[in-house]
Structure 1
Amino acid sequence: MFKQYNMNQVILPLDMERKLHKDDIAFTIHEMIEGIPEEAFEPFLRETGTPSYHPKMMMKVILCAYTQSVFSGRKIEALVQDSVRMMWLAQGYEPSYRTINRFRVNLHVQDLLRECFVQFRSQLVEEKVIDQEAVFIDGTKIEANANKYTFVWRKSTERHSQNLIEKSNTMYEELLEQEVIPAMERESSDELSTEELQSVVNKLDDHIEDFNQKIESSDDTAVRKQLRSDRKKPKEYQKQFKDFLQRKQKYQTDMEIFGERNSYSKTDHDATFMRMKDDHMRNGQLKAGYNVQLATENQYALAYDVFPNPTDVRTLIPFLDRIENDFFELPRYIVADAGYGSEQNYQDVHENREREALITFNTYRKEKTKKYQKDPSNSANWAYDEEKDAFTCPNGQQVSFLYTSQKKDRYGFTRTVKVYECEDCSSCPLRAECNKRQSGRNRRIYFNPTWEEQKAYIREQLSETKTGELYGQRKIDVEPVFGFLKANLRFSRMSVRGTDKVKNELGFAFMAVNLRKYTSKPQKVSGRTPYHSQKKDSDDQKMIIRTFFYS
């Protein structure tokens, strides 16, 4: 005997919710979006035109699609038509892929996503899933939606720009010597501006037009032939200066797009070429991408941001500002790996934010090795006399204080360095090993007291039981989120272009990771009942009506 099966029988369930499992992820998405204050949706209101879809519905649909590893607008549209949970979240509406794509790149969606993260974190705190003692920070590089070979490099642009300046100046001087055009007032003697290049082109156009009029007005073949011959050189200059003008404008545009970066992609101007772990050519080829910074606790993504920097060291301070301004108050401990260790970062965390930095530095592991600790040429192993303010080298020579130097990097941060110099290295038996980089003079030591104090503080913190265990938790807290995002969710490449749009998409992706983790195992609930566990009143119950049609 078989169960009843008849394709001529039409079944019309009016409540899609009853087709979903009680622990379905759609209920969690619905509860979170409904918890966003109504004021956050007001920027989407329009007084004219056709009424738009409610942003709550659009947020739920896109978030649900991302949890199912569906990132394409067309596939999301198809999912709304096929998936029961998507039908329930959309409540019968079927937005087109154009509507979906326009919504998820809307600038106002950033505020909605921020509200989602704030709401989600408050829920985790309420349920005591996170303890707010520390925040774990790390970064990853995600490939941009750009062609791999559309790179523009700053050094190349600067070199070509300098060649253009030299050629244009030389040709301008030739035009003045040949009295082809009159001299003009220049803003700078170093280079011709775009306005000045345009002026040269206009004057050459007038000069060539004079030749054309003379040629047309002359009936003498020999004269006309001579005029055409004289016109060739100005036309060549005209062609060259038009090319100079176009290239000058292009180089200026390139430099504006670069900003502080060294490269950008022609496909996505906000993307920077970085070294990815997945080397498609296996030769160190760079790819256009974004440096994504993430703050986590208990393997939940709590805040995120996007930066064009290939390295992490200069992203920490702006990322912490972003967390404090838009997401939550920083906890006591800021935990990150050695890629964030710098004097400026330590100073910002300790002095400006009054927090504890559990961040190692680049040489932390190296300094623990026996080779480093027994190296006689390493000044860190030399004895120091605080009264004399001098070191003693392995040969017994005194390395005395010489002067204090202030070093400012290209980003404006100033470091104070004390310089010490050895008395006499001429007859030292360790000279070849100790003074390799300073041959021809006595050995010098560049000592940064602030940096050394910071490193000593970090060593002390990591040697303690509590803080050492807290730092050791970093790898098992933030790395799994990236692994889930790229491996399980299969989100390894952006589908939109531009920093603002990329931020929106990453917000959906990280929240999808959170929702997948949150619904994968039962959570400790305190003080309230999740939406999908609540019982509806009898007035809200809907009957499932089945209508049978027989042929």
Structure 2
Amino acid sequence: MSRKVIFKTYCQDQLSLLPPSYDDLVPIHHPVRVVNTIIDNIDISVLEKSYKGGGTSSYHPRMLLKVIIYAYLRNLYSSRKIEQALSENIHFMWLSGQSKPDHNTINDFRGKRLKGHLKSIFHQVVLLLVEQGVVSLKDIYVDGTKIEANANRYTFVWGKSIKTHKERIKKQLKELWSYVEKVYKEEQLIPNTPDFEAIDAEKVAATIHQINDALKGKDIDKKVKQKLNYAKKNWLTNMAKYEQQEAILQQRNSYSKTDPSATFMRMKDDHMQNGQLKPGYNFQASTNNQYLTNYTIGQTTADTTLLKDHVADHIQNYGQTPETLTADAGYGSEENYTDLEAKEITAFVKYNYFHKEQQDTKKGKINPFHPDQLYYNKKTDTYYCPMGQAMTHMGSYKKKTKNGFEQELHRYQAQNCNGCPLRSLCHKSKTHRIIERNYNLIRLKAAAKKLLTSEQGIEKRKQRCWDVEAVFGNIKQNMNFKRFMLKGIDKVKVEIGLIAMAHNLKKYSLTL
């Protein structure tokens, strides 16, 4: 015998005595309430002052800030999708008080109003989390990841290419001048030789003019005449273009034509899965307990050159220096160790070959020919090779890194390597072996090794893996943020700040 099917009442036209409130439809511990509460408790006067006044009324910046942060928390990065959510999503409608700014208003607020102001707002949010006891600014974990820019992947300018083109013009100018000298040699006249060392647009113009004047009225070779005419038409324009491109490059080796602030970098998660170069930015992050405490954007591929400014930014914004800093081998340089030592920060920062050293020590694989393994007599300032031969001090010299940091290196040379049975194992030089020693770096690496191999150091190294790298995993995989929406470094800083706040508030909401 079949039973009667009973359906729940369904009546779209049913009237309510009292209209439902959006507040009743939003759960108490929902992330949208966290965003609302946190943003209500921070000072946004800098944003309010950016409005000039007059004309029609404006949407309140606090409401727009809440909406954009919550949109990023929900993986909505398009201004058009945010506009759509404000009309369809109950949480967005509750958060905005049923205000419905269009996508242009949202985009202008994000790209223009927040520029230069979001960083201070982010740090206020972090300080609120510190008050709640979920974040500490004393211990930070630093790492970097590359995020693709919103730029064409196949239109670029390379620094090496500019240098090659300028050298080619320089070479051809010399060839033209050699022809001038050849012509005047027959007349036994010696023209004044132009300066070919550091050429620019002005010097190229002056040299072409000088060559043209020198050959005026002369019976010159047809090919030389063609080259000179080509130089007049193209080289001045080209040189001006190269100088403009070099001004954009500054210390970088490349940039994108569609976003000149972006540098071409090799990324692990590229769309072709072949490690190709793409325009991007180097996102530097400090974390604690998987919360982002600070962020900076770099335009260079190497993390090494970005740590100093990243730490300085932390100190400037919070007015306090972290007690410990943990980072991987990408940050282990003499400059970084020196800077952290000067700031009295305990640095659990690996250096190159740290893990290899640990593995070789465990396996008993120690290279007796490595400079670190050679016996050193401090009193006589002498090293001794594995055969016991003295390596005397040749002197010292100073050199600067690309970042402008000055290093001091000492050179030592063996007196006679001829006939040594260990020579092929010891070195490959055609002369007697020379070694270079950087005593400041040796001291700093020894101090780093002592810290890294201590109980606290082992604990810090383990925690770094799941602290900062988990944040990158959440941003790139869970939040699906692998490519910036905005162009230009100032707008990129705004966008990564929104991502950082969204990450922190989403994580905080899960603890409630």
TM-score range, shorter chain: 0.7 to 0.9
CA distance in 1, matches of 2:492, 2:388: 60
Q: Which residue does the alignment assign to 2:480?
A: 490
Q: Does 1:432 align with 2:438?
A: no
CA distance in 2, matches of 1:343, 1:199: 45
Q: Name the aligned partner's letter for residue 288 of structure 1.
A: P
CA distance in 1, matches of 2:286, 2:199: 49
Contact 1:114 1:327 in 2 (8 A): no
Q: Name the aligned partner's letter for residue 162 of structure 2.
A: T
Q: Name the aligned partner's letter for residue 242 of structure 1.
A: K
CA distance in 1, matches of 2:503, 2:180: 66
Q: Name the aligned partner's letter for residue 408 of structure 1.
A: K
Q: Which residue does the alignment assign to 2:123?
A: 118
Using CA pairs under 8 Å that are at least 6 residues apart, name the structure with larger relative contact order, 1 or 2: 1
Pairwise CA distance, 1:402: 2.4
SS at match of 1:365: helix
Pairwise CA distance, 1:400: 2.6
Contact 2:71 2:77 in 1 (8 A): yes
Q: Name the aligned partner's letter for residue 426 of structure 2.
A: C
SS at match of 1:315: helix
Pairwise CA distance, 1:304: 0.3
Of the three residues 434, 442, 449, the one matched with 1:452 is: 442
Q: Which residue does the alignment assign to 1:144?
A: 149
| Bigger mean CA offset, 363-372 vs 331-340 | 363-372
Q: Does 1:291 align with 2:282?
A: yes
| Bigger mean CA offset, 289-298 vs 383-392 | 383-392
Contact 1:168 1:192 in 2 (8 A): no
> Percent same amino acid at aligned positions?
35
CA 410–36 in structure 1, closer or farther in 2 if over 3 Å, else same: same
Of the three residues 325, 329, 338, the one matched with 2:329 is: 338
CA distance in 2, matches of 1:186, 1:97: 62
Pairwise CA distance, 1:283: 4.4
Q: Which residue does the alignment assign to 2:43?
A: 37
* Residue deviations 1:172-207 (CA, integer Å, cap 9, x gap): 8989999xxxxxx9995668754577799999xxxx
Q: Which residue does the alignment assign to 1:306?
A: 297
Q: Which residue does the alignment assign to 1:501?
A: 491
Q: Does 1:348 align with 2:339?
A: yes
Q: Which residue does the alignment assign to 1:526?
A: none
CA 57–463 in structure 1, closer or farther in 2 if over 3 Å, else same: same
Q: Which residue does the alignment assign to 1:3?
A: 8
Contact 1:69 1:490 in 2 (8 A): yes
CA distance in 2, matches of 1:378, 1:83: 65
Q: Which residue does the alignment assign to 1:383?
A: 375
Contact 2:140 2:325 in 1 (8 A): yes
Q: Does 1:419 align with 2:419?
A: no
Q: Which residue does the alignment assign to 1:321?
A: 312
Q: Name the aligned partner's letter for residue 64 of structure 1.
A: Y
CA distance in 2, matches of 1:364, 1:158: 37
Of the three residues 229, 235, 242, the one matched with 1:244 is: 235
Q: Which residue does the alignment assign to 2:398?
A: 406
SS at match of 1:30: helix
CA distance in 2, matches of 1:332, 1:294: 17
Q: Which residue does the alignment assign to 2:23?
A: 17
Q: Name the aligned partner's letter for residue 135 of structure 2.
A: I
Contact 1:145 1:496 in 2 (8 A): yes
Q: Which residue does the alignment assign to 1:88?
A: 94
Contact 1:343 1:451 in 2 (8 A): yes
Q: Name the aligned partner's letter for residue 157 of structure 2.
A: V
Contact 2:389 2:415 in 1 (8 A): yes
Contact 2:268 2:275 in 1 (8 A): no
CA 92–14 in structure 1, closer or farther in 2 if over 3 Å, else same: farther
| Bigger mean CA offset, 479-488 vs 5-14 | 5-14
CA distance in 1, matches of 2:372, 2:209: 66
Q: Name the aligned partner's letter for residue 138 of structure 1.
A: D
SS at match of 2:12: coil
* Residue deviations 1:60-115 (CA, integer Å, cap 9, x gap): 1111111111111111111111111111111121111111111111254442x323
Q: Which residue does the alignment assign to 1:510?
A: 500
Q: Which residue does the alignment assign to 1:154?
A: 159
Pairwise CA distance, 1:399: 2.1
Q: Name the aligned partner's letter for residue 255 of structure 2.
A: Y
Contact 1:168 1:244 in 2 (8 A): no
Contact 2:47 2:113 in 1 (8 A): no
Gaps of at least 5 residues in structure 2 are 1-5, 184-191, 211-223
Pairwise CA distance, 1:503: 0.5
Contact 1:406 1:416 in 2 (8 A): yes
Q: Which residue does the alignment assign to 2:106?
A: 100
SS at match of 1:139: strand
Contact 1:169 1:192 in 2 (8 A): no
Q: Which residue does the alignment assign to 2:355?
A: 365
| Bigger mean CA offset, 239-248 vs 287-296 | 239-248
CA 303–31 in structure 1, closer or farther in 2 if over 3 Å, else same: same
SS at match of 1:66: helix
CA distance in 2, matches of 1:517, 1:417: 48
Pairwise CA distance, 1:48: 2.4
CA distance in 1, matches of 2:110, 2:77: 11
Pairwise CA distance, 1:166: 4.0
Contact 1:107 1:500 in 2 (8 A): no
CA 444–186 in structure 1, closer or farther in 2 if over 3 Å, else same: closer
Contact 2:390 2:414 in 1 (8 A): yes
TM-score, normalisation: structure 2? 0.87
Q: Which residue does the alignment assign to 2:85?
A: 79
CA distance in 1, matches of 2:95, 2:238: 53
Contact 2:138 2:322 in 1 (8 A): yes
Q: Name the aligned partner's letter for residue 49 of structure 1.
A: G
